[in-house]
Structure 1
Amino acid sequence: MKALVLVDHPEEKIQLLTIEKPVPTKGQVLVRLKAAALNRRDQWIREGKYPNIQINTVLGSDGAGIVEEVGAGVSSSLIGKEVIINPNIEWGDNPKVQSKNYRILGMPVNGTFAEYVTVEAAKIHEKPAHLNWEQAAAIPLGGLTAFRAVFGQGQLAEGQNILISGAGGGVAQFAMLYALAAKANVYVTSGSEDKIKTCIALGAKAGFNYKGEDWQKEALQASGGFDVVIDSAGGDQLNDFIKMMKPAGMIVFYGATNGTPQKLDMFRMFWNQITLQGSTMGNDQEFEQMVAFINQHKIIPILDSVRPFSEIISAFDAMKMGGAFGKLVVGIETELLI
């Protein structure tokens, strides 16, 4: 089968290769993939910026397809089912935090940038009927990360004010779609006026360009303060968020691309009962809840582009360049094994 493999090469770190088709073992299913989507994680692995890099691994955490075979102990009734894949592996028994053995599909375990993938039968969920293959494939990692941040950690409720930073990112866009479905008052930040306009067209009340000097004052005046902030950058802007929070507000961050703040306004935090909450991709129960939420509200993921599997490396290059709005997706068509 064709697969995108991380290799030990000085320049071409990822290569489309022909490798052996996997066979489902006990408790597993074999999924014939119809589409897969990229995440920042994939590009970071390509650049060697992810921990515990393992060469000769098939990358990819997001995917949707059809169950083609089942392993021992798995009902044959699953064969032919259209599914999306939960990329969690060994979250553990505590729903609040992942176990020490936790890992994600697509490195170190072979992932979805291939014609076939084997996963635990418990990790497949019925594809939402209102979505096509490319839309469904865009959900898993980014969608689950946003769902946990917005609801599991942020406890967002109808009518509350939520600020989502960096609205050009995939997780941020899922957070926006979820918050809109929950009937919250949604505000966004971005360094792009075009992206802000797009978010407003999708239902956000307002957007603020973080490159401007007074965007914080503008945001506070427009909103009256925020109950929840969802952020992936960290850095000194955390203090800006603290100043904009309503009493007992929640700042949820799922990344720290800008590093740690030089100082943290702890006085304002304790006096106003502000919570700073870390978050990651969600647990297995949250994945199930997320799929139900997407089905209930007929949420459609935002896609930037769809290209054939043969051009997947160009999708990595596009992610590296930046500027995309929505998920980068590849369609996968199974060919005869060589």
Structure 2
Amino acid sequence: MQGLVLDQENTSGIAIKEVTLPNLKPQEVKVKVKAAALNHRDEWCRQGKYPNIKNGIILGSDGAGVVEEVGEKVDKGWLGKEVIINAANFWGDKQEVQSGEFQILGMPGNGTLAEYVQVDASRLCKKPVHLSFEEAAALPLAGLTAYRAAFYHGQLKKGMKLLVTGFGGGVAQFATQFGIAAGAEVYVNSGSEEKLKKATALGVSGGFNYNDENWAQQAVDQTGGFELIIDSAMGATFSNLIQALQPGGKLVFYGATLGNPPMLDARRVFWNQLTIQGTTMGSDRDFEEMVQFVTEQEITPVVDSVFDFSNAVEAFERMSAGKQTGKIVVKL
């Protein structure tokens, strides 16, 4: 079969090659992949910036398809089912935090950017019927990350004032959609006026351009501050986020793409009794609740663009350029 593998000897860092999967284990299933979505971790692997990367590994964490084969210990009722795949492996028994064995599908093990993927049957979930394969493929990793940030850590409720930063990325897009569906008063920021317009079309209450150095004060003046902020950048933006929180508010962050904050306004944090909470991916319980929420609310992921598998390198280039709004999907 063909798979998109990490190839650090190639100028693009990736290549479509013939790949042979190992024999199916008793507890595994083989899924014919219909669509797979890109995540930033795939691009970081391509750039050699992700830990424990291995040449020849099939990239891709998100995928949707049809079960074509099951191991001897797997319920044969899965055969022919349309499914999405939970990319979080070995979370462990604690809802509070992942285990030391936690791994994400697509590195260091083979992922979804291939004609077939083999996973433990426990990673399967029936595809929500209102979603196409391309839409469903966009859901798992980013949807799970956003759901845990918003509901498990953020305790998001109807009427809360929520700010989602960096609108345009997959997790930010889902956090925005989840907040709107939950009845929160949702705001976003972005460095792109076009992306702010798209957020408005989704139903947000307002948006702020973070290229304006006074955006945080403008946000406070307009809203009175936020009870919850969901962020992935940190870095020098951290002080603005702390400024934009209401007393008693919470900042939940799932990444630090801009690095560590250069300073911490500790006095503002303790005096306003703010909470700073890290998060990543989510447990199996989070995943089940996320899919149920998406199904009940009939939430449709925002798909930025769909590429044929033969043009997968172009899909990576679009992600690298950072121009997308929503998820980039590869169709197989």
Query: Shorter-chain-normalised TM-score: which range?
Result: over 0.9
- The match for 1:326 is 326
- The match for 1:227 is 227
1:31 aligns with 2:28: no
- The match for 2:239 is 239
1:210 aligns with 2:207: no
* Secondary structure in structure 1 of the residue aligned to 2:264: coil
1:116 aligns with 2:116: yes
- The match for 2:96 is 96
User: How far did residue 22 of structure 1 move?
Assistant: 4.6
* Secondary structure in structure 2 of the residue aligned to 1:43: helix
Q: Which moved more, 1:234-243 or 1:105-114?
A: 234-243
User: How far did residue 99 of structure 1 move?
Assistant: 1.0
1:281 aligns with 2:285: no
User: How far did residue 213 of structure 1 move?
Assistant: 2.4
TM-score (norm 1): 0.96
User: How far did residue 241 of structure 1 move?
Assistant: 1.6
User: How far did residue 287 of structure 1 move?
Assistant: 0.4
User: How far did residue 171 of structure 1 move?
Assistant: 0.6
- The match for 2:45 is 45
* Secondary structure in structure 2 of the residue aligned to 1:69: strand
Q: What number of residue pairs does the alignment pair up?
A: 332
- The match for 1:316 is 316
- The match for 2:144 is 144
Work out whether residues 186 and 204 of structure 2, in 8 Å CA contact, stay in contact via their aligned partners in 1: yes
User: How far did residue 283 of structure 1 move?
Assistant: 1.0
Deviation string 1:11-69 (CA, Å, 9 cap, x unpaired) is 24211011124542111111011100000110000000111111110000000000111
Work out whether residues 30 and 116 of structure 2, in 8 Å CA contact, stay in contact via their aligned partners in 1: yes
Q: Which moved more, 1:19-28 or 1:314-323?
A: 19-28
User: How far did residue 273 of structure 1 move?
Assistant: 1.1
- Measure, in 2, the Cα distance between the counterparts of 1:130 and 1:10: 39
Q: 1:116 to 1:155 in 2, by over 3 A?
A: same
- Measure, in 2, the Cα distance between the counterparts of 1:316 and 1:213: 31
Q: Which moved more, 1:292-301 or 1:239-248?
A: 239-248
Q: Which amino acid aligns with 1:49?
A: K
Work out whether residues 5 and 59 of structure 2, in 8 Å CA contact, stay in contact via their aligned partners in 1: yes
How do 1:41-80 residues align onto structure 2 when only pairs under 5 Å count? 41-80=41-80
Work out whether residues 58 and 110 of structure 1, in 8 Å CA contact, stay in contact via their aligned partners in 2: yes
- Measure, in 1, the Cα distance between the counterparts of 2:8 and 2:142: 28
Work out whether residues 34 and 331 of structure 1, in 8 Å CA contact, stay in contact via their aligned partners in 2: yes
The sequence identity of aligned pairs, in percent, is: 51
- Measure, in 1, the Cα distance between the counterparts of 2:319 and 2:87: 21
- Measure, in 2, the Cα distance between the counterparts of 1:317 and 1:4: 14
Work out whether residues 303 and 328 of structure 2, in 8 Å CA contact, stay in contact via their aligned partners in 1: yes
Deviation string 1:121-162 (CA, Å, 9 cap, x unpaired) is 111000000000000000011111111111111111110000
1:3 aligns with 2:20: no
Work out whether residues 6 and 14 of structure 1, in 8 Å CA contact, stay in contact via their aligned partners in 2: yes
* Secondary structure in structure 1 of the residue aligned to 2:195: helix
Deviation string 1:244-277 (CA, Å, 9 cap, x unpaired) is 2122111001111111122111111111110000
CA RMSD of aligned residues (A): 1.0
Q: Which amino acid aligns with 1:258?
A: L
TM-score (norm 2): 0.98
- Measure, in 1, the Cα distance between the counterparts of 2:297 and 2:12: 42
- The match for 1:83 is 83
Work out whether residues 8 and 46 of structure 2, in 8 Å CA contact, stay in contact via their aligned partners in 1: no
- The match for 1:263 is 263
Work out whether residues 250 and 275 of structure 2, in 8 Å CA contact, stay in contact via their aligned partners in 1: yes
- Measure, in 2, the Cα distance between the counterparts of 1:186 and 1:126: 29
- Measure, in 2, the Cα distance between the counterparts of 1:8 and 1:50: 13
Q: Which amino acid aligns with 2:104?
A: I
Deviation string 1:273-322 (CA, Å, 9 cap, x unpaired) is 10000010111110000000000100000011112111111100111112
Work out whether residues 149 and 252 of structure 1, in 8 Å CA contact, stay in contact via their aligned partners in 2: yes
User: How far did residue 105 of structure 1 move?
Assistant: 0.4
- The match for 1:196 is 196
Q: Which amino acid aligns with 2:227?
A: D
- The match for 1:106 is 106
Consecutive unaligned residues of structure 1, counting only runs of 5 or more, are 333-338
- Measure, in 1, the Cα distance between the counterparts of 2:22 and 2:139: 24
Q: Which amino acid aligns with 2:325?
A: F
Deviation string 1:169-194 (CA, Å, 9 cap, x unpaired) is 11100000000000000000000111
Work out whether residues 12 and 313 of structure 2, in 8 Å CA contact, stay in contact via their aligned partners in 1: no
Q: Which amino acid aligns with 2:82?
A: E
Q: 1:315 to 1:10 in 2, by over 3 A?
A: closer
- Measure, in 1, the Cα distance between the counterparts of 2:236 and 2:37: 31
- Measure, in 2, the Cα distance between the counterparts of 1:156 and 1:23: 44
User: How far did residue 7 of structure 1 move?
Assistant: 2.0
Q: Which moved more, 1:158-167 or 1:4-13?
A: 4-13
Q: Which amino acid aligns with 2:97?
A: V
* Secondary structure in structure 2 of the residue aligned to 1:197: helix
User: How far did residue 8 of structure 1 move?
Assistant: 3.9
